[in-house]
Homo-oligomer: A and B are copies of this chain.
Amino acid sequence: MTSVHDTVALLGRTPAALDALLRDLPEMWTAGNEGAGTWSAFDVVGHLIHGERTDWIPRARMILESGDSRPFESFDRSGHETEISGRSLHQLLDLFAAARSKSLEALRALNIQPADLERRGRHPALGAVTLSQLLATWAAHDLTHLHQISRVMAHQYRGAVGPWSAYLGVMHCSGHSEL
């Protein structure tokens, strides 16, 4: 069992960490991806915004209100396309910070008690999940995308590092099917 306090501590820091890393960084780093059909750091921030709007708090509410009587809405992995359309990275970073802040306020308002953490929901593909698992996944999802962003950015220097590539684990990471 993880603590909601630990989860919230991480969730609250991710927007500032991404802001410090990405804002005003040359586009070579932020717009570069790993090839056709893959995401740039910019795309990932759009995906994180989309998750705030449609995934985490809506699913937590559903568990608390309806339990596992019906499955969650499927998460739309191309939902970020609407978020990023016509926007700059500055705007996305601001929107992510605002959306995350709003989500954490909503989480506080849910006033989750220890006994609630074992309440169950139903994931459309994974089946039975608990509120505790949902909240832990919210934090781990930030980390999987920080892991992805660091890999996608490193990819831009894959050739430039020459023989040092052998010592840089990130250059040998295939992404492990991040979904």
Contacts and interface: CB of A to CB of B under 8 A. Distances in A.
Interface string A6-19: 10011001101111
Contact of A26 (B5, B133, B168): B5
- Contact residues of A: prevailing secondary structure: helix
Task: Please state the number of chain copies in the assembly.
Answer: 2
Nearest to A142: B150
Interface string A139-166: 1110110111011011001001111101
A136 B136 CA distance: 35
A173 B25 CA distance: 27
Contact of A160 (B1, B14, B147, B163): B1
A170 to B, nearest CB: 4
A2 interface: yes
Which size bracket describes the interface of A in this complex? 35 or more
B169 A140 contact: no
B151 A179 contact: no
B148 A169 contact: yes
B129 A163 contact: yes
Contacts of A139: 157
A125 to B, nearest CB: 9
Interface in A1-57: 1-3, 5-6, 9-10, 13-14, 16-22, 24-26, 28-29
> Which 4 pairs, one residue from A and one from B, show the smallest C-beta to C-beta distance?
A169-B178, A136-B160, A169-B176, A133-B162
Interface of A: 1-3, 5-6, 9-10, 13-14, 16-22, 24-26, 28-29, 123, 126-127, 129-130, 132-134, 136-137, 139-141, 143-144, 146-148, 150-151, 153-154, 157, 160-164, 166-173, 175-179
